[in-house]
Amino acid sequence: MHPVRSRVRLRAAAVAAALAALLLAPLPTARHAEAAATLNNAGFESDGTGTATPAGWSTYSAAGQNAASFTEAGGHGGGHRLSHWSSAAYKVETYQYLSGLADGPYTLSAWVRSGGGQNSAYLALRNCGSAEQRTDLPVISSSWIRIVTPITVAGGACTVSINSDAKAGNWLNVDDLTFTPGTTGLAVKGVDLSALKKSEDLGGTYKSASGAPGDAVALLKNAGANYGRLKVWVNPADGYNNKARVLATAQKIKAQGMKLLVDFHYSDIWADPGAQTKPAAWQGHSYSRLRTDVYNHTYDVLSALKAQGTTADMVQIGNEINTGMLWPEGSTSNWTQLAGLLNSGISAAKTVSSGTQIALHLANGGDNALYRTWFDNAKAQGVSYDVIALSFYGYWHGALSSLQANLDDISARYGKKVLVAETAYPFRLDSEDAHENIIDLAGELVAGYPASSAGQSAWLRDVMNVVEAVPNGRGLGVVYWEPAWTAVTGNGWDPADPSSGNGWENQALFDYDSRLLPAASRLAHR
């Protein structure tokens, strides 16, 4: 064969093969706009209103529904935003391909809103040389929420993707994205197991999602939980949640390789913003004696835990102490005395184990004014702690955007890590026992989160996403409250009344057949 003609034929064959490869390449990654090492037009300001494919971005829809992606006025930080919406059901992706990246960890951050109802609505990082990472959009229509998605880039490239698989009329907004070096995650993915010992002693059983009998702690650990939380009462009427029972459950938690958070109520019964009742044994004690009581009780429980090889990894000095503890001496109306009581408990905990983290815990996690006032006073009084812990129940404490604003502010203002130490959500409204559930009406629910397995799962997912997005890695994690408190006769609200019922079984992570619910898998959050 003539050598020149041979080279021409080889080149023609190579061109044909390249064209065939392009035609066969999977979409949407082959249909990207110009690649860059940084996000282009991350605030969607370049094109004004009504652009289906904004500058720097590409749009893909297998069904030819590109028009469901468009820019419009009303941005988070600037004048415009990206929206997904159509009057008919649609699937659309808006994406941008980045190349020339240094390998290593990166985090995508974006401000988002969504009316909910989609089959799926999420941000994704894909084709990055590691497993695809996604973050679902929370359901919030009136305020913007910042969410993050971490990835490890290997190979210098990554695709940033905004995705909707939606029903007619479903919508989302996205704006002000960043893609920067660094990573995120949650160190604490916890479960409060305070009611478990009594449940088991009274015959309570637990099953896997498939119905196989199992140990509740093991089932939750295998679902992703890495922390167990236990409340401590001083001398409760039923003998549960006292030192002996806490020691027993702590052994089960630590045997699963989980860490332990101990929650001191400094009471014989529930302590919360509306009730901080002194233990009966401490009634009539002077303020000075109460400081000794707090020290001795804290030291006694924690040293016993340490002695059996289950040292507490974190300790709450008080439970939901918005208004103080050990009323009236430890009320917030006398911050000097409250600080003295707190410092007694903190000193005892640190004496037992200097590595134990100290958490101070308030309720009303969306109330920034409360947290500023409370922790400003704690700082002025010289109270030393490591973690700000919050309770956040959406049906009581406000919108997810309020939680985020509070977490962002207090973590920066006080230089502390923040932990949502309590949250939960119902998977149904009806009661399994004769006791009325705490949340049992549709009007009590958070908009966009139905009382269903999916609604419960989405709530836990979105609270975890909000905590993960706290800047500078200060979002420590989330603890789901009483996931194993199912309806077992005798294990009710009142420790002094064996006939009292349970108003919480519809918010457990085990259903009315004692099977593990899908929301438990959210504990495996990155």
**CB atoms near residue 313 (< 10 Å):** 18
| Region of residue 326 (phi > 0: left; psi between -120 and 50: alpha; otherwise: beta) | left
From the list 115, 161, 154, the residue with the least C-alpha distance to 138 is: 115
**CB atoms near residue 180 (< 10 Å):** 11
Residue 21's φ and ψ, nearest 5 degrees, are -65, -40
- Reported in sequence order, the residue ranges of 295-401 that DSSP labels E, i.e. its strands, are 314-317, 357-362, 387-391
Q: Is 320 noted as a catalytic residue in this protein?
A: yes
Tracing tokens 């006769």 back to the chain, one arrives at: 489
Q: How far apart are CA 306 and CA 285, in angstroms?
A: 29
Note the Cα 356 to chain centre separation in Å: 22
Record the tokens describing residue 260, joined without a space: 């332990």
Q: Using only C-alpha atoms, what is the Rg of the chain? A: 27
Q: Find residue 175's DSSP bridge partners.
A: 111
Beta strands 206-207 and 213-214 are: antiparallel
Q: Is 422 noted as a catalytic residue in this protein?
A: yes
Q: Tell me, what DSSP letter sits at residue 161?
A: E
Which H or E run contains 60? strand 58-60
Active-site residue (options: 93, 200, 320, 505):
320
Active-site residue (options: 329, 422, 432, 505):
422
Quick one: 112 exposed, middle or buried, by C-beta within 10 A (0-12, 13-18, 19+)?
A: buried
Residue 319's φ and ψ, nearest 5 degrees, are -125, 120
What letters, b where the CB count within 10 A reaches 16 and e where it falls short, cover 25-42?
A: eeebbeebbeeeeebebb
Note the Cα 276 to chain centre separation in Å: 27
From the list 514, 482, 484, 486, the residue with the least C-alpha distance to 502 is: 486
Tracing tokens 């029972």 back to the chain, one arrives at: 245
Angle value at C-alpha 252, between 345 and 504, nearest 5 degrees: 75
The catalytic site residues sit at 320, 422
